[in-house]
């Protein structure tokens, strides 16, 4: 068992890396014309087999429905998504990707890869493998109460 991070050094490093990743991602997303929150919503819509409802998106993203409405409004204004009535219940509105949205997703993937590559550039292939293993362990390990 490892010792706790009593000095806070590891904590500070993780927080600094998170901020650096956010800055790099924003720098690469700006030319695409999309915010990180819009990017997340667009990626979420793309993961559904059938167009999701606004409530589905709010639940998945763990945000209030009003936040989803604001994001969908912005993405709809730039042509990335559109609101469509549900085939079985016309009162239900679903959000679907447009061709422009799929194109934006491709640009987003490229931007995200470039941002991560900037961060990982100093690491060798072996170091990246070690980091990938450590991150996998952290992400798949049991959730512990705070």
Domains and CATH numbers, the chain: 25-119 (1.10.10.10)
Instruction: Quote the pLDDT of residue 5.
Output: 64
Rounded distance, CA 146 to CA 138, Å? Answer: 15
Which is nearest to 70 in space by CA: 104, 33, 108, 38?
38
Rounded distance, CA 44 to CA 77, Å? Answer: 18
Instruction: Quote the pLDDT of residue 29.
Output: 82
What tens-digit pLDDT sequence spans the chain (146 residues)? 566 666 688 889 989 998 998 888 888 888 888 888 999 999 999 999 999 999 999 999 999 999 999 999 999 999 999 999 998 998 899 999 999 999 999 999 998 888 889 899 999 999 999 999 999 998 887 775 54
Which is nearest to 50 in space by CA: 95, 80, 100?
95
Instruction: Quote the pLDDT of residue 21.
Output: 87
* Entry pTM: 0.75
Instruction: Quote the pLDDT of residue 28.
Output: 84
3-state secondary structure of 6: coil
């Amino acid at each position: 068992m490892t010792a706790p991070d009593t000095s806070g050094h590891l904590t500070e490093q993780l927080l600094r890396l998170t901020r650096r990743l956010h800055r790099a991602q924003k720098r690469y997303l700006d030319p695409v014309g999309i915010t990180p929150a819009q990017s997340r919503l667009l990626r979420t819509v793309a993961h559904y087999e059938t167009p999701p409802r606004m409530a589905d998106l709010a639940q998945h993203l763990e945000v209030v429905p009003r936040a989803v409405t604001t994001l969908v409004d912005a993405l709809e204004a730039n042509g990335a998504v559109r609101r469509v009535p549900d085939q079985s219940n016309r009162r239900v509105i679903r959000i679907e990707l447009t061709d422009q949205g799929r194109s934006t997703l491709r640009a987003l993937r490229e931007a995200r890869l470039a941002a991560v590559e900037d961060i990982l550039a100093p690491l060798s292939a072996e170091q990246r493998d070690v980091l990938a293993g450590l991150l996998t362990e952290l992400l798949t390990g049991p959730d512990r109460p705070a």
